[in-house]
């Protein structure tokens, strides 16, 4: 079978959508090497994150550098797919080329979330309209839609008029770098480099409104200082970040919260391992990958209800009502005074095993 991918973000994005694209394509090739894997992109940028995909024995890269590459990716790529005799084309980030349904190519699209429909204030009107058009068009015209959580599946069904049978839920896969235990020397080196406290809890993610970091600051402010341990925040932001920092100053928490940004993929797993536990009170997530990363790292988690985070956390953490600062403060205090390394979460983590995920996606391609 010849399988084609919209690989723009695989080569050009190094956060969520890019990581998803690289992990999915790499795992599919690893577990099903008998198929041909074609990567279509406007630019194939070569760096440590993408080097693996330049192996000509495993992948075929199709690069379009024309001045009209936007049109190529949105429309005329179909001619190339037909010329290359592609059997299945997978839009890895909520997009499919216009007109693909009229071709003989089976199309699959992954929908990660519909945040733009729920947090409209975070998007300008034009971008919101474009995202809605692309997601809606892809859902209606794909042969199959992959939702990355049951929560996202329900969101898609509410937003777009498509059959439930058309949607398959396939979780994000584990990333093995978060399972690898660092040596004590490696941990000490990272601790020294970033001036980390001896004991702290962790938040990883963008510092924006819907991620709800303010709730954590409020919770910390009502915990007695003698029971309070520092919070380390890994992530960047703009206006909301400044609002969070103003709260910290007003509440006298300046010595209790440390902000880090631009942490490398090599150092991040070690920071997870150094933490006591993980907190992520986001109000909306299509999946919530940092929660899975924390559990992989052996840490219990505190997350919010009414989003995908309940699915990802499973029995490996505490699920609280959204914006319940009192319960959040109580949970943080309890976690701070107890041993917080996870017990046996192996059964839960098997749901996200890379081989299991690759098998489910291959079944979607084959129509099973």
Q: In the chain, what is the straight-line distance between the N-terminal and C-terminal CA atoms, in Å?
A: 15
- Angle formed at CA 54 by CA 50 and CA 59, multiple of 5 degrees: 110
3-state class (DSSP) for residue 16: helix
Tell me if residue 162 falls in helix, strand or coil: coil
Q: The tokens 């915990």 sit on which residue?
A: 223
- Per-residue confidence band for 336, with pLDDT thresholds at 50, 70 and 90: confident
- Topology match between the domains 2-173+353-366 and 176-350: yes
The proportion of the chain whose per-residue pLDDT surpasses 70, expressed as a percent, equals 98
- pLDDT value of residue 340: 58
When pLDDT is averaged across residues 108-114 and rounded to a whole number, the result is 97
Predicted pLDDT of residue 16? 84
In this predicted structure, what is the pLDDT of residue 68? 82
d(CA 251, CA 210): 21
Question: Under the phi-then-psi rule, with left for phi > 0, alpha for psi from -120 to 50, and beta for the rest, what region is 61?
Answer: beta
* pLDDT recorded at residue 352: 97
| Contact between 243 and 214 (Cβ < 8 Å) | yes
Helices (H), 160-208: 184-193
pLDDT above 90 covers what percent of the chain?
A: 89
CA–CA separation, 302 vs 56, rounded Å?
A: 43
CB burial class (10 A; 0-12, 13-18, 19+) of residue 326? exposed
At 121 the pLDDT is 87
Dump pLDDT digits (tens) for 148-187. 999 999 999 999 989 999 999 999 999 989 999 999 999 9
Region 101-105: mean pLDDT is: 94
Range 108-112 average pLDDT: 98
User: What pLDDT is attached to residue 339?
Assistant: 58
What are the residues facing 60 on neighbouring strands? 38
CATH architecture of the domain with range 2-173+353-366: 3-Layer(aba) Sandwich (3.40)
Q: How far apart are CA 118 and CA 275, in angstroms?
A: 32
State residue 277's pLDDT score: 95
Task: Supply the angle between the helices 125-141 and 150-159 in degrees, to the nearest 10.
Answer: 100
Average pLDDT estimate for 200-226: 96
Contact yes or no for 37/28 (Cβ under 8 A)? yes
Q: Are 28 and 53 in contact (CB under 8 A)?
A: no
Lowest mean pLDDT among 9-23, 182-196, 237-251, 331-345: 331-345
The chain-wide mean pLDDT, for the chain, equals 95
d(CA 368, CA 363): 5
User: Which pLDDT band holds residue 107 (cuts at 50, 70, 90)?
Assistant: very high
- Flag whether pLDDT at 338 surpasses 80: no
Give pLDDT, residue 36: 98
Q: What predicted TM-score, i.e. pTM, was given to this entire model?
A: 0.92
**Interatomic CA distance for residues 358 and 173, integer angstroms:** 8
**Spatial CA neighbour of 366 closest among 37, 34, 88, 7:** 88
Superfamily of domain 176-350: Glycogen Phosphorylase B; (3.40.50.2000)
Torsion angle (degrees, nearest 10) of CA 99, 101, 105, 107:
100
Rounded to 5°, angle at Cα 19 from 6 and 267? 160
Q: Average pLDDT, stretch 113-135?
A: 94
* Domain boundaries along the sequence of the chain: 2-173+353-366, 176-350
Diameter of the chain by CA atoms?
68
């Amino acid at each position: 079978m010849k399988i084609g991918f919209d690989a723009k973000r695989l080569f050009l994005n190094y956060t969520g959508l890019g990581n998803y694209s690289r992990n999915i394509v790499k795992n599919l090739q690893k577990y099903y090497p008998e198929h041909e894997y074609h990567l279509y992109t406007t630019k194939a940028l070569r760096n440590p994150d993408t080097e693996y995909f330049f192996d000509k024995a495993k992948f075929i890269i199709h690069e379009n550098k024309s001045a009209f590459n936007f049109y190529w990716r949105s429309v005329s790529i179909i001619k190339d797919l037909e010329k290359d005799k592609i059997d299945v084309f997978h839009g890895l980030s909520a997009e499919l080329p216009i007109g693909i349904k009229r071709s003989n190519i089976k199309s699959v699209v992954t929908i990660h979330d519909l945040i733009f429909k729920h947090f409209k204030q975070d998007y300008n009107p034009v971008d919101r309209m474009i995202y809605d058009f692309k997601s809606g068009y892809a859902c209606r015209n794909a042969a199959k839609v992959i939702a990355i959580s049951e929560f996202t599946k329900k969101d898609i069904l509410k937003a777009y008029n498509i059959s439930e049978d058309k949607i398959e839920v396939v979780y994000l896969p584990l990333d093995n770098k978060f399972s690898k235990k660092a040596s004590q020397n490696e941990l000490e080196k990272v601790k020294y480099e970033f001036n980390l406290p001896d004991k702290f809890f962790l938040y990883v993610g963008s510092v924006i409104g819907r991620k709800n970091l303010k709730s954590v600051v409020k919770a910390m402010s009502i915990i007695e200082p003698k029971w309070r341990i520092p919070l380390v925040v890994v992530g960047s932001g703009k206006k909301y970040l400044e609002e969070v920092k103003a709260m910290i100053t007003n509440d006298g928490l300046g010595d209790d919260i440390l902000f880090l940004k631009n942490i490398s993929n090599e150092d991040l797993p070690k920071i997870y391992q150094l933490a006591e536990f993980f907190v992520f009170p986001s109000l909306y997530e299509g999946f919530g990958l940092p929660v899975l990363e924390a559990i992989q790292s052996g840490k219990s988690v505190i997350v919010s209800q009414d989003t995908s985070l309940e699915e990802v956390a499973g029995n490996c953490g505490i699920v609280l009502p959204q914006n319940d600062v009192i319960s959040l403060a109580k949970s943080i205090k309890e976690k701070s005074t107890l041993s917080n390394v996870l017990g046996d979460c192996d059964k839960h983590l098997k749901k996200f095993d890379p081989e299991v995920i690759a098998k489910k996606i291959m079944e979607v391609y084959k129509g099973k």
